Structure 1
Amino acid sequence: MPSDESSPSAAKLLRERYARRLPGSLGELTGPAHGSVQLPLHVAWSGLTRFDLDRPRSRMSMYRTVLAEGQSDDLVTLLNRDILLSQWPVLRTLISRAIRDVWESAFPELTAVRPAAAA
Protein backbone atom coordinates (compact mmCIF):
# COMPACT_ATOMS: atom_id res chain seq x y z
CA MET A 1 0.00 0.00 0.00
CA PRO A 2 1.63 3.33 -1.02
CA SER A 3 2.32 5.83 1.71
CA ASP A 4 0.44 9.11 1.77
CA GLU A 5 2.94 11.73 0.59
CA SER A 6 1.13 14.45 2.56
CA SER A 7 1.61 12.83 5.97
CA PRO A 8 5.09 12.83 7.51
CA SER A 9 6.65 9.58 8.65
CA ALA A 10 6.74 8.61 12.31
CA ALA A 11 10.52 9.06 12.30
CA LYS A 12 10.21 12.58 10.91
CA LEU A 13 7.60 13.51 13.50
CA LEU A 14 9.83 12.18 16.26
CA ARG A 15 12.84 14.18 15.00
CA GLU A 16 10.67 17.31 14.85
CA ARG A 17 9.50 16.71 18.41
CA TYR A 18 13.09 16.50 19.67
CA ALA A 19 14.19 19.47 17.54
CA ARG A 20 11.53 21.73 19.09
CA ARG A 21 13.03 21.09 22.53
CA LEU A 22 16.62 22.03 21.65
CA PRO A 23 18.35 24.96 23.32
CA GLY A 24 19.59 27.78 21.12
CA SER A 25 23.18 26.80 21.87
CA LEU A 26 25.10 24.31 23.99
CA GLY A 27 26.17 27.27 26.14
CA GLU A 28 22.61 27.42 27.49
CA LEU A 29 23.11 24.03 29.18
CA THR A 30 23.89 25.22 32.69
CA GLY A 31 22.91 22.19 34.74
CA PRO A 32 24.94 20.90 37.66
CA ALA A 33 28.29 19.19 37.14
CA HIS A 34 28.50 17.43 40.53
CA GLY A 35 26.31 16.09 43.26
CA SER A 36 22.91 14.48 43.37
CA VAL A 37 20.07 15.44 41.03
CA GLN A 38 16.39 14.62 41.53
CA LEU A 39 14.60 14.58 38.18
CA PRO A 40 11.05 15.91 38.02
CA LEU A 41 8.27 13.36 37.63
CA HIS A 42 7.47 14.42 34.04
CA VAL A 43 11.06 13.52 33.06
CA ALA A 44 11.66 10.39 35.14
CA TRP A 45 8.19 8.93 35.47
CA SER A 46 9.41 5.35 35.83
CA GLY A 47 12.43 3.78 37.49
CA LEU A 48 15.22 5.86 38.98
CA THR A 49 14.55 9.51 39.73
CA ARG A 50 17.70 10.48 41.67
CA PHE A 51 21.13 10.41 40.05
CA ASP A 52 24.67 10.97 41.33
CA LEU A 53 26.60 13.03 38.79
CA ASP A 54 29.90 12.00 40.38
CA ARG A 55 29.27 8.37 39.39
CA PRO A 56 29.79 7.83 35.64
CA ARG A 57 27.03 5.22 35.15
CA SER A 58 24.51 7.25 37.12
CA ARG A 59 25.42 10.42 35.21
CA MET A 60 25.12 8.66 31.84
CA SER A 61 21.74 7.22 32.82
CA MET A 62 20.46 10.65 33.82
CA TYR A 63 21.64 12.24 30.56
CA ARG A 64 19.94 9.49 28.53
CA THR A 65 16.70 10.07 30.41
CA VAL A 66 16.79 13.86 30.13
CA LEU A 67 17.64 13.80 26.42
CA ALA A 68 14.75 11.42 25.73
CA GLU A 69 12.09 12.80 28.07
CA GLY A 70 13.07 16.35 29.01
CA GLN A 71 11.35 19.47 27.75
CA SER A 72 13.27 22.61 26.73
CA ASP A 73 13.49 23.97 30.27
CA ASP A 74 14.64 20.59 31.58
CA LEU A 75 17.44 20.39 29.04
CA VAL A 76 18.94 23.75 30.01
CA THR A 77 18.57 23.32 33.78
CA LEU A 78 19.58 19.65 34.08
CA LEU A 79 22.26 19.17 31.41
CA ASN A 80 25.73 20.67 31.63
CA ARG A 81 27.50 21.75 28.44
CA ASP A 82 30.96 20.48 29.45
CA ILE A 83 29.64 17.11 30.62
CA LEU A 84 27.54 16.68 27.48
CA LEU A 85 30.53 17.43 25.26
CA SER A 86 32.89 15.14 27.15
CA GLN A 87 30.40 12.27 27.36
CA TRP A 88 28.93 12.58 23.86
CA PRO A 89 31.15 9.95 22.15
CA VAL A 90 29.69 7.27 24.45
CA LEU A 91 26.31 8.86 25.10
CA ARG A 92 25.52 9.03 21.37
CA THR A 93 25.68 5.23 21.24
CA LEU A 94 23.15 4.89 24.08
CA ILE A 95 20.39 7.18 22.78
CA SER A 96 17.97 6.75 19.89
CA ARG A 97 19.01 7.61 16.37
CA ALA A 98 16.36 10.37 16.26
CA ILE A 99 17.82 12.12 19.32
CA ARG A 100 21.40 11.68 18.11
CA ASP A 101 20.62 13.00 14.62
CA VAL A 102 18.75 16.05 15.91
CA TRP A 103 21.45 17.02 18.41
CA GLU A 104 24.35 16.44 16.00
CA SER A 105 22.63 18.35 13.21
CA ALA A 106 21.95 21.31 15.49
CA PHE A 107 25.33 21.25 17.22
CA PRO A 108 28.15 20.10 14.90
CA GLU A 109 30.63 20.58 17.76
CA LEU A 110 29.27 17.34 19.22
CA THR A 111 30.57 15.35 16.26
CA ALA A 112 34.02 16.92 16.60
CA VAL A 113 34.42 15.46 20.08
CA ARG A 114 36.63 12.41 20.30
CA PRO A 115 36.53 9.84 23.08
CA ALA A 116 38.87 10.67 25.94
CA ALA A 117 42.04 8.60 25.98
CA ALA A 118 42.11 5.96 28.66
CA ALA A 119 44.10 7.14 31.65
Structure 2
Amino acid sequence: MEERASYLRRCPIAVPQHLAELADPSHGQIELPLALAWTGCRAYDLDFPADLAVLYERIIVEATGPSGLEAFLNETLLTRVWHRLYLPSQNRNRWESLFPELANAA
Protein backbone atom coordinates (compact mmCIF):
# COMPACT_ATOMS: atom_id res chain seq x y z
CA MET A 1 0.00 0.00 0.00
CA GLU A 2 2.89 2.36 0.72
CA GLU A 3 4.09 1.94 -2.88
CA ARG A 4 0.67 2.98 -4.26
CA ALA A 5 0.42 6.01 -1.98
CA SER A 6 3.91 7.07 -2.99
CA TYR A 7 3.00 6.86 -6.68
CA LEU A 8 -0.17 8.90 -6.17
CA ARG A 9 1.83 11.66 -4.48
CA ARG A 10 4.27 11.80 -7.41
CA CYS A 11 1.68 11.51 -10.17
CA PRO A 12 1.16 14.92 -11.83
CA ILE A 13 -2.31 16.40 -11.54
CA ALA A 14 -3.13 18.61 -14.50
CA VAL A 15 -5.43 21.56 -13.88
CA PRO A 16 -6.35 24.52 -16.07
CA GLN A 17 -5.54 28.06 -14.98
CA HIS A 18 -9.24 28.97 -15.25
CA LEU A 19 -12.34 26.85 -15.72
CA ALA A 20 -13.40 29.21 -18.53
CA GLU A 21 -10.52 27.73 -20.57
CA LEU A 22 -12.53 24.49 -20.73
CA ALA A 23 -14.68 25.45 -23.68
CA ASP A 24 -14.71 22.39 -25.94
CA PRO A 25 -16.86 20.30 -26.90
CA SER A 26 -20.33 20.42 -25.36
CA HIS A 27 -22.18 17.65 -27.24
CA GLY A 28 -21.78 14.88 -29.77
CA GLN A 29 -19.14 12.22 -30.26
CA ILE A 30 -15.54 12.55 -29.13
CA GLU A 31 -12.53 10.33 -29.64
CA LEU A 32 -9.59 10.51 -27.27
CA PRO A 33 -5.98 10.11 -28.34
CA LEU A 34 -4.18 6.97 -27.17
CA ALA A 35 -2.24 8.98 -24.57
CA LEU A 36 -5.50 9.59 -22.69
CA ALA A 37 -7.29 6.37 -23.59
CA TRP A 38 -4.58 3.78 -23.16
CA THR A 39 -6.98 1.26 -21.58
CA GLY A 40 -8.87 0.69 -24.81
CA CYS A 41 -12.11 2.66 -25.15
CA ARG A 42 -11.51 5.86 -27.08
CA ALA A 43 -14.98 6.90 -28.34
CA TYR A 44 -17.52 8.63 -26.11
CA ASP A 45 -20.90 10.30 -26.58
CA LEU A 46 -21.16 13.54 -24.61
CA ASP A 47 -24.95 13.40 -24.83
CA PHE A 48 -25.03 10.07 -22.94
CA PRO A 49 -24.57 10.74 -19.17
CA ALA A 50 -22.63 7.54 -18.42
CA ASP A 51 -20.20 8.18 -21.28
CA LEU A 52 -19.73 11.78 -20.19
CA ALA A 53 -18.87 10.79 -16.62
CA VAL A 54 -16.37 8.10 -17.64
CA LEU A 55 -14.79 10.41 -20.22
CA TYR A 56 -14.34 13.25 -17.74
CA GLU A 57 -12.93 10.91 -15.09
CA ARG A 58 -10.42 9.56 -17.57
CA ILE A 59 -9.34 13.00 -18.81
CA ILE A 60 -8.96 14.48 -15.32
CA VAL A 61 -6.87 11.52 -14.14
CA GLU A 62 -4.82 10.90 -17.29
CA ALA A 63 -4.12 14.39 -18.66
CA THR A 64 -0.54 15.48 -18.08
CA GLY A 65 -1.04 19.16 -18.83
CA PRO A 66 -3.65 21.86 -19.35
CA SER A 67 -3.78 21.36 -23.13
CA GLY A 68 -5.28 17.88 -22.70
CA LEU A 69 -7.94 19.32 -20.43
CA GLU A 70 -8.75 22.31 -22.62
CA ALA A 71 -9.13 20.16 -25.73
CA PHE A 72 -11.69 17.77 -24.24
CA LEU A 73 -13.46 19.33 -21.23
CA ASN A 74 -16.30 21.83 -21.12
CA GLU A 75 -16.80 24.05 -18.06
CA THR A 76 -20.60 23.80 -18.07
CA LEU A 77 -20.61 20.01 -18.43
CA LEU A 78 -17.85 19.60 -15.85
CA THR A 79 -19.76 21.66 -13.29
CA ARG A 80 -22.91 19.64 -13.99
CA VAL A 81 -21.29 16.22 -13.48
CA TRP A 82 -18.57 17.04 -10.93
CA HIS A 83 -20.26 15.35 -7.95
CA ARG A 84 -20.93 12.19 -9.95
CA LEU A 85 -17.30 11.68 -10.93
CA TYR A 86 -15.25 8.93 -9.28
CA LEU A 87 -11.87 10.59 -8.86
CA PRO A 88 -8.84 9.89 -6.72
CA SER A 89 -9.01 12.13 -3.66
CA GLN A 90 -5.79 13.89 -4.70
CA ASN A 91 -7.36 14.96 -7.99
CA ARG A 92 -10.66 16.02 -6.45
CA ASN A 93 -8.97 17.94 -3.63
CA ARG A 94 -6.61 19.75 -6.01
CA TRP A 95 -9.39 20.79 -8.39
CA GLU A 96 -11.73 21.87 -5.57
CA SER A 97 -9.00 23.84 -3.81
CA LEU A 98 -8.39 25.81 -7.01
CA PHE A 99 -12.02 25.97 -8.10
CA PRO A 100 -14.32 26.02 -5.04
CA GLU A 101 -17.29 26.50 -7.36
CA LEU A 102 -16.96 22.83 -8.29
CA ALA A 103 -17.29 21.76 -4.66
CA ASN A 104 -20.32 24.03 -4.31
CA ALA A 105 -21.99 22.90 -7.56
CA ALA A 106 -25.24 21.05 -7.15
Flag whether TM exceeds 0.5 (same fold). yes
Q: 2:91 aligns with which of 90, 96, 99?
A: 99
Q: Which runs of 5+ in 2 are unaligned?
A: none
Match for 1:78: what amino acid?
F
Deviation, structure 1 residue 46:
1.4
1:78 and 2:72 matched: yes
TM-score, reference length from structure 2: 0.88
Q: Please list the CA deviations of residues 20-76 of structure 1 after superposition, one character each: whole Å capped at 9, or x if unmatched.
A: x21111000012110000001100011210000010001111001101111321101
Q: Runs of 4+ in structure 1 displaced over 4 angstroms?
A: none
TM-score, reference length from structure 1: 0.79
CA distance in 2, matches of 1:99, 1:68: 7
CA distance in 2, matches of 1:97, 1:25: 20
Q: Please list the CA deviations of residues 86-118 of structure 1 after superposition, one character each: whole Å capped at 9, or x if unmatched.
A: 111111xx111111011011111111112xxxx
Percent identity, aligned pairs only, is 33
1:63 and 2:53 matched: no
Number of aligned positions between the proteins: 100
CA distance in 2, matches of 1:39, 1:32: 12
Task: Give the helix-richer structure, 1 or 2.
Answer: 2
